[in-house]
Amino acid sequence: MNLVRPISLFFSSIALLPAPLALAQTLPPAIQAIEARGAKVVGSFDAPGGLQGYAARYNGEGMALYLTPDGDHVLIGSLLDASGEDLTRAPLEKLVYEPLGKEMWQGLESSTWIQDGAAEAPRTVYMFSDPNCPFCNMFWKQARPWVDAGDVQLRHVMVGMLRADSAGKAAALLVAKDPQAALNAHEAAGKASKLEPVERISPKVNEQLEANLTLMGEMGASATPAIYYLDDEGRLQQQHGAPRPDSLKQIMGPLSAKR
């Protein structure tokens, strides 16, 4: 499942206005009425037929608003030209999804995670991981060739949500003397893991786990593993659940021969 859809910029026959310039002006009352219902206008763009386009975020998704020439009415949705090309995709990609992807990636970078793999690996993949999640364990196993070759660094954003002892086990990994070694030992053992949950989670670690869980929800994920990576064009993508072989190669990138 793509978080930011791979969109070709050849659609961008629409002239885009920089968001700060567009938003420095007072929004028309009809557009303000849309904002009052929960949308956040982040930029504007020129559209054909005398329409004025506005790009907005609503519930984490991009939404195009088209103000009619009279300034009193708003159309919401996709605009197609005579050949059937979607003229809405390019402005939403530029004004909504690219900035949103960067914000989400920064959120992942600043979350509490356990490194799995070489620090100098050319590719970084984040995953929200619960210590009791069998599909997280499956993805950990799938990723071994890339991690062992030094091609990918997995960053496990730990959450505790599946079972009563999940948070305690996640805390045990975070406070371990060597979190990476403890995580890999736990995953390598699978169902036979002897990982003991922390009985009393410190306020600091509890805050970290809660923040990770909140971030997971903000990024549209409700189950583990939720996997996030940047594609070859630097756009944020996501995968829910352990990936199939074809998706795995997209996530992990090329596998080098050094193993």
Three-state SS string over the chain comes to CCCCCCCCHHHCCCCECCHHHHHHCCCCHHHHHHHCCCCEEEEEEECCCCCEEEEEEECCEEEEEEECCCCCCEEECCCECCCCCECCHHHHHHHHHHHHHHHHHHHHHCCCEEEECCCCCCEEEEEEECCCCHHHHHHHHHHHHHHHCCCEEEEEEECCCCCCCHHHHHHHHHCCCCHHHHHHHHHHHHHHCCCCCCCCCCHHHHHHHHHHHHHHHHCCCCCCCEEEEECCCCCEEEEECCCCHHHHHHHHCCCCCCC
Does residue 241 surpass a pLDDT of 60?
yes
Does residue 91 surpass a pLDDT of 70?
yes
Does residue 257 surpass a pLDDT of 90?
no
What pLDDT score was predicted for residue 256? 87
Domains and CATH numbers, the chain: 9-95 (3.10.450.70), 111-252 (3.40.30.10)
Q: Give the model's confidence band at 26: pLDDT under 50 very low, under 70 low, under 90 confident, else very high.
A: confident
What pLDDT score was predicted for residue 97? 85
Q: Give the model's confidence band at 100: pLDDT under 50 very low, under 70 low, under 90 confident, else very high.
A: confident
pLDDT digits (tens, 9 = 90+) for 158-174: 999 999 999 999 999 99
- Stretch 29-54: mean pLDDT: 94
Q: Average per-residue pLDDT in the chain? A: 89
Q: Give the model's confidence band at 98: pLDDT under 50 very low, under 70 low, under 90 confident, else very high.
A: confident
pTM of the shown model: 0.76
